[in-house]
Structures are given as structure tokens and as C-alpha cells.
Amino acid sequence: MAKRVFSAALLGCAALALVACNASKNGSASGSGSLDEAEKASETLLKTGGTGDDWAGIGYSYDEQRFSPLTDINDRNVGELGIAWYADLEDARGQEATPVVVDGVMYVSHAWSKVDAWDAATGKKLWSFDPQVPGERAVSACCDVVNRGVAVWGDKLFVGTLDGRLIALDRKTGQEIWSTQTFDKRKPYTITGAPRVVKDMVLIGNGGAEFGVRGYVTAYDADTGKQRWRFYTVPNPDKRADNAASDAIFASKGNATWSDTGEWKTSGGGGTVWDAIVYDKDLDQIYLGVGNGNPWNHGTRSNGEGDNWFLSSVVALNADTGAYKWHYQETPAESWDYTATQPIILAEQPVDGQPVKVLYHAPKNGFFFTIDRATGKLIDAKPYVDGINWATGYDLATGRPIENPEARFYKTGKPFIAVPGALGAHNWHPMSYNPKTGLVYIPAQQIPQGYLQDMDELDKRKVLGFNVGTSLNKTMLPDDVQAFRAAVAATTGRLVAFDPRTGKVAWGVDYPAAWNGGTMTTAGNLVFQGTSTGRLRAYAADTGKQLLDLDMQSGIVSAPSTFRVNGVQYIAFQTGKGGAFPLVAGVAGGVTRKVPNLPRLVVLKIGGTVQLPAPPATTALAWNPPPQFGTAAQVASGKAHFGRYCQVCHGDSAIGNGFTPDLRVSGTLANADAWKGVVLDGALKDRGMVSFARVLTPADAEAIRAYVIDRSNWTKANLPEASAPVGR
């Protein structure tokens, strides 16, 4: 067994005693009672996937392969797909959820944690639910006000909200049944991921590691919303017990992997589980994909000491109690935001001639992992993208990466431009697995990023903004036209068909831009994917031949699902660009900067004849920058403060991407009082732009205005391709 794997057997009787204690305090470890008929039907659908008529979970079934057995739409007739119906959504922000369909009803969550239900065949809206998330919560969301989906269990539907509520709805009416607050709202947590339901328990994690929180996953009773168990992914700062399922493993082994001093003691350490939570029906265990540390910089976070369990790990837990079973740490001593939160797929694969139950994982760090899910042993780790420079590979005997020493920027004191960067070779966008081809279809990308140990007072921990332990303002692009154009050329996307049996890419499709949509595959020898440039495409699953290319008028980041009603197969997906990359990318957004952002739900069928309306009229925003003011020192100060607090929502070098305001053409730019009203007084807090008066002085805010005016004048004169997005 690889040395990176640790077994629950090491914990002995102490772990068993603790589980018994937790069960007595938090409720029965085995559930609240027998399932009713509707819940049994949901469990059967999630375990088996059913006939394909339903798409009962965001990943189709508990295996989360996103593979449908339907063949009505196939590689011979997919070119005949047309629109059956569509529905416009309210908010032009990221739309990341996969539609869930049960008994002919479609449930979709969208921006700001809203949920709608439709008749899946006709598009008749059945109900809407708006949890009324306060707009100011957006400042705690690293990566847009998104939601990745809902969970259906019996007559209930569950959704997590950006402000931390787990809500149970009556799935027939949309009426709230219960609501539980899952985190302390005084801290910068969020929920953007989809809940999972296992054995009448609802499992949910959270986000917020960039700001400084302590990660955990909680199981709640599906009927009452009461807590059953909780597993922390980072030790208690005092290294004491929490009366949680994670206590035994931290006391026995985990605490020793964190230094006794370091910024994690006050930051919380990160390790949020903001996406992947997968139930293994065969082994009756749960897998968590754990995120990055806070700060990213291991030298600052833990004094450069220890591997820091369970950051960037896949962790296996007992489904009933949450007790630790094993983990595999993909990126020990994580320092680059290389999360392991990306989707996890369960499958079976021959290993040395014997069938082995495995999990497939393609996290941010660029390597594809095949792991024995019974033991946690690493079977293989191979690159699924080119150009990886932080490590050359993995030692399969130890399970550890073979690192490039230059990647540890906090040790060398030198800048390091990493491939992949913090946005990853693969981010949250769902991948899929086709058992017929044996291939995994990964929405991959190439987005380099610079890391720098040289930090000043501005880079240190603040009460607002990212706290990552590397200078964000000093790694913005320089005032060099060629550097800007090189950034565009270096930032690309790719659909990768990876063969885990060989550890090689079977085929791939290159895209001119990053941040393309998730994938879905079918027994009809098809792979579906939307693109950031507004296309919905289908490829032959075995060869990669393009078979369909539909113009959807808007960028697509979500993954499709497929289902059948009254003998007719449909394909459903959302349009609407958003998420981390377009927020921060600046000019590197490339061609996607000019793609409209139209939030919609679109449903296709063979022979569909519905036409999308003509895109809304657009007008070129007036780009008349105010005259430059301020000294060079003032502009430089504005750049530093912009890089520290503003670029993560308004783009590198103040170049917007069309779904948050491009400040270079803001109506407030020429008016110091109006600018102050937004930046310091919080005039737009209901839209997510809170007051930054806690970290900015009036002089700082005015310096930022001087810098943005400078950027507006400079890009207009030197970089016409970075013109402001169109208005509508």
C-alpha cells in the first residue's frame, strides 16, 4: 500500500468509542427509521440509475458517471437535434447546475440559490423558490453567486444557499418544509455545491477557503434537518477534540501533520469541501474531495512544516457515522490552490487481470488519479494535460509527487509561473465516464499563474478580500502589449478523452478559450459539451468526431443531462457564463469577453423546431475615459489596492468580462463622490458590492479610481481588442 494512504485500522478502539459517543449525542448512527415508499424509490433510482427515463441526481446516479443508457439519440441522428423548449432565467450570473429530472418533472437551481420546477416535456413552469439570499453575501463568494444543483429524495427536494442554509422543499409545490443554518454567518463561508442524500441523511459542505475558514462536511436528518454527524477536514486550531467524527483521526495522526504555529491557527486552515461528495453504494462509504489551504502558501500557513491533512485529498468516511476510513493526499503541503474538490467518478477497472472497484479523479493539479476505493491505494497517476511544471510525475511506491523544487516559491524566494495555475487544469466543470468506451471526458484547460513570496503590508491578512499568502497585486500583467497578447494565446481549453487503463489521452478537441462546460455521455456513443464561446456540441464518444454544433447565443459552463418522457429523449442544459475565470481573467478571457451572457434553460429533442429569439440589441458602450489625474505614486498605489481587493471580481488590469461591471466604462468613474458612494458607502451592497471602508481609506479609494482611469486610457490607446464588453 502506498505510504500516502492511512487506514482506519490504525485508530483502534479509540475511534469506536468516539463513534459511539457521537451517535448518542447527535442521534442514531444508523438513521431515524425505515424509508417510506417514495424514499425507497429515490434510493433505488440513485443506486441503479434506472432505465434512463430519469436523471435522478446531478451525476445521474450514486456512481456520478454522468452516463445515460439511452440510445434514442445516437451518433447517427444527433445532427437532427433542435430546441423543444427554453426558458429565460432571471440573473445574468454563472449558471452551473445540471438539471435533475424525476417522474417527468425537471428541477434546476440557478444563480443566487434559486430553484425552479418545470414540466420536463412541455416547459410549463410548475413552481419557483427564491431563498432571498442577501446581496452582500456575494463578497464571501470567491467564484460568483452560483449553485451547482439540487437533490431529490422521496417527496422532498434539497438545496444549499449561498448564505449557508440547507433547505428542504416539497418537490410538488416548492414550499419550504425545514431550513437549517449550516455555518456561522459571521464568517466568510458560502454554499455553492449540491447536497447529496444518503440513507435519509443530507450531506453538505461549504466554501470560503480563500478568505479564511475551517472546512467540514455535515450530515443532516432528511426529515427534520437535525445534525447527525460532522467531519472536519482541518484540525481544531488548539488541536483539541470537537465532538466530531474527525476527532479520532486528528488525535491519532492528523494533528501532527500541522505545525504548532503558523497562520492556519487564526485563518482556520481552509480545506473546504465545496463540490465533490460521493456515496459508494457497493462499499457503503462516502468520498470527500477536499480543497486548498488557507493561506495557499504552505510556508506562511504551516511554517513550511507537515503535509497538512486533509488538504487536497480524497477522504473516505463511514456513511452511517462519518468516521474516518482512509485518505489519499494528491498534493501534500498544498501551496498553489490545487484543490481535490473536482468531481469524483466511481467505476470498475481491471488491475493486474483482476476487476477492482476504483475511483477516477482529475483535480486541478493536472494529474489523473486512479485509486482503489476499498483501500485508498494509488493505482496510477498520469498527466491529462501538457506542460505541467510543478511536478514531473508520481512515485507509485510512495504515492508522492516528484516535485520541481522551483515550485516551492516560498522556499526559493523567486517568482514561479505555474502550469496549471490556481484555476486548475480542470476546475468544477463535471467530467463523465462511458463504460462502453472506457474513456473519461474531461473539460480541461491551460491557465498559467504566477506565485510570489515577496509580500508587503498590503498583502497580509485582511478582513475583506482573498487571503492567500502570495501577492495578488504584484502578479497582475505588466503594461506591455505583447504580455497581454501572450496571456490570451496561453489561455486555452480542451476536451480530453482520457483512458485510465493506459494512462494516456485517447483523443482531444482544442478550444480557443478556457472555462468550457461540463460533459455528459450516453450509450448512443455520444459526448455532449457546451463551450465558453456559446456552442453546444456533440462528439462521437469513441473517436471524438464532431457530430453537432448548435449556436446557443451565450457562453455555457454547466453540464447537460438527458432523460425520456413518453418515449421521447431530451437533452437539457443551462446557458450563462460566470464563475471564477471570467471574474478574474481580464484580457486572458480572450474571445469569450465578447460572448453575450444570456441565462437560460434549453431543452433539445430530435426534430425540435423552436427558435431562440434574436439576441437582445447591443450597443457599444461609450468609451470616453475621463482625463488622467493623480501622481504616478497615486496611480501605483491604486494599482496595488485594485490588485489586492478588486481584480478577483473586476478582472486583471480592470479589464471586465461582461457579467460584472467593466469599471473602465463605469458611470461613476468621472465622479469622485459617486465612486466613493459605491466603494466606501456601499450604495450597491444589494448587488453584492459591499462597502470596503473596513480596508480602504478615502485616499485609497481615490487612488483606485485614478488607476482605473489610467487603465481605461491605456487599453483604449494600446489594446483595442480589450475594448469594453457591449451593453444591453
What digits encode the pLDDT tens for the residues 134-193? 999 999 999 999 999 999 999 999 999 999 999 999 999 999 999 999 999 999 999 999
Amino acid at 335: S
> pLDDT tens-digit profile of 90-110?
999 999 999 999 999 999 999
| Residue 12 pLDDT greater than 70, yes or no | no
Cβ proximity of 270 and 235 under 8 Å: no
Give the pLDDT mean for 593-614: 95
Cα–Cα separations (whole angstroms), residue 136 to 140, 227, 605, 650, 682: 8, 27, 40, 16, 9
> pLDDT tens-digit profile of 306-323?
999 999 999 999 999 999
- Quick one: pLDDT at residue 222? 98
Binding-site annotation: residue ranges for pyrroloquinoline quinone? 96, 148, 192, 208-209, 272, 364, 427-428
Cβ proximity of 548 and 559 under 8 Å: no
Q: Is residue 376 classed as helix, strand or coil in its secondary structure? A: coil
| Residue 24 pLDDT greater than 60, yes or no | no
| Residue 27 pLDDT greater than 50, yes or no | no
Q: Which of 539, 541, 443, 424 is nearest to 496 (CA)?
A: 443
- Quick one: pLDDT at residue 21? 39
> Is domain 149-417 classified as CATH 3.90.650.10?
no
- Quick one: pLDDT at residue 653? 92
| Residue 658 pLDDT greater than 50, yes or no | yes
Burial class (CB in 10 A: 0-12, 13-18, 19+), 286: buried
The three grid cell numbers given for residue 121, joined into one nine-digit string: 416535456
Give the pLDDT mean for 627-653: 95
Count CB neighbours of 412 within 10 A.
Answer: 12
Report the b/e string of 26-37 with b at 16+ CB within 10 A: bbebebbeebee
User: What is the share, in percent, of the chain residues with pLDDT greater than 70?
Assistant: 94
Q: Is residue 653 classed as helix, strand or coil in its secondary structure? A: helix
- Quick one: pLDDT at residue 624? 86
Topology at the third CATH level for domain 632-719: Cytochrome Bc1 Complex; Chain D, domain 2 (1.10.760)
HEC per residue, 496-561:
EEEECCCCEEEEEEEECCCCCCCEEEECCCEEEEECCCCEEEEEECCCCCEEEEEECCCCCCCCCE
Q: Is residue 18 classed as helix, strand or coil in its secondary structure? A: helix
Cα–Cα distance measured from residue 97 to residue 71, given in angstroms and rounded to the nearest whole number: 24
> pLDDT tens-digit profile of 631-640?
999 999 999 9
| Residue 14 pLDDT greater than 80, yes or no | no
Give the pLDDT mean for 596-603: 96
| Residue 16 pLDDT greater than 60, yes or no | no
- Quick one: pLDDT at residue 725? 62
Q: Using the structure block, give the residue that is written with the C-alpha cell 483502534.
A: 12
HEC per residue, 127-140:
EEECCCCCHHHHHH
Binding-site annotation: residue ranges for heme c? 646, 649-650, 689
**Most confident stretch, 230-234, 475-479, 717-721:** 230-234
Catalytic residue among 163, 337, 652, 710: 337
- Quick one: pLDDT at residue 704? 97
| Residue 607 pLDDT greater than 60, yes or no | yes
Q: Is residue 716 classed as helix, strand or coil in its secondary structure? A: helix
> pLDDT tens-digit profile of 232-289?
999 999 999 999 999 999 999 999 999 999 999 999 999 999 999 999 999 999 999 9
Cβ proximity of 324 and 315 under 8 Å: yes
Report the b/e string of 521-535 with b at 16+ CB within 10 A: bbbbbbbbbbbbbbb
Q: Is residue 483 classed as helix, strand or coil in its secondary structure? A: helix
Identify the band that residue 619 occupies on the pLDDT scale cut at 50, 70 and 90.
Answer: low
Burial class (CB in 10 A: 0-12, 13-18, 19+), 627: exposed
Asked if 149-417 and 632-719 have one fold, the answer is no
All structural domains of the chain with their residue ranges: 149-417, 632-719
Average pLDDT, the chain: 93
Give the pLDDT mean for 642-665: 91
- Quick one: pLDDT at residue 594? 85
Contacts of 118 (CB under 8 A, 6+ apart): 87, 105, 106, 108, 124, 125, 126, 601
> pLDDT tens-digit profile of 554-567?
999 999 999 999 99
Query: What backbone phi and psi angles, to 5 degrees, belong to 19?
Result: -60, -40
Cβ proximity of 444 and 425 under 8 Å: yes
- Quick one: pLDDT at residue 237? 96
Q: Is 337 in the active site? A: yes
Cα–Cα separations (whole angstroms), residue 264 to 143, 473, 639: 22, 22, 28
Contacts of 622 (CB under 8 A, 6+ apart): 665
Cα–Cα distance measured from residue 486 to residue 634, given in angstroms and rounded to the nearest whole number: 28
